[in-house]
Amino acid sequence: MPLGNTYRGQTCSIASALEVVGERWTLLIVRQVMLGVRRFDEIQRDLGIARNVLQARLEHLERAGILERRRYHDSPIRYEYRLTEAGRDLWPVLVSLLQWGDAHLPRDEGPPVHLEHRGCGGAVDTHRMCTRCGAALEYGDVVGRPGRDLPAGHPLLRRAAAAVSAGG
């Protein structure tokens, strides 16, 4: 039985994982960092999350070892957030959630994002294999292409275009 708003009373690896990433904004923040959005103000703008909530979630992700904070400017001091190995290991989880949402919560216009193998342009199947060349795909091998229903200027569209033009 969960204790209050936690899963500490559960003896279950899923419950343990949800203690770290189960809060509403957490995986969206990780998604943004995976897309190359690493600075506080950019994450806040793209998600529309309250600054205090974002700060608390970023601190939680740092304590959990999913993100690390790196200084990128000295005066004034500014930091950006980078994925740790544990953070990069969440990539299959996000891909599975995206694919589950596409399959079970479909939009009339089609998926908002299509995942493609960076090497050959093939689609990513549910086993994270390229449907064109058969390669087993990992974080960094895949790029998100905007679907038809993303409005102009949508953060995911901007980030997908930036990732494509930057080659990563």
* Kind of pairing between the strands at 113-117 and 142-146: antiparallel
Q: pLDDT digits over 68-124, tens only? A: 999 999 999 999 999 999 999 999 999 999 999 999 999 998 898 899 999 999 999
Cβ pair 126, 99 in contact under 8 A: yes
Q: Which residues of 19-38 are buried (b: 16+ CB within 10 A; e: fewer)?
A: ebbebebbbebbbbbbbebb
Q: pLDDT digits over 110-149, tens only? A: 898 899 999 999 999 999 999 999 999 999 999 888 887 7
| Mean of per-residue pLDDT scores for the chain | 88
pTM: 0.85
CA 115 to chain centroid? 13
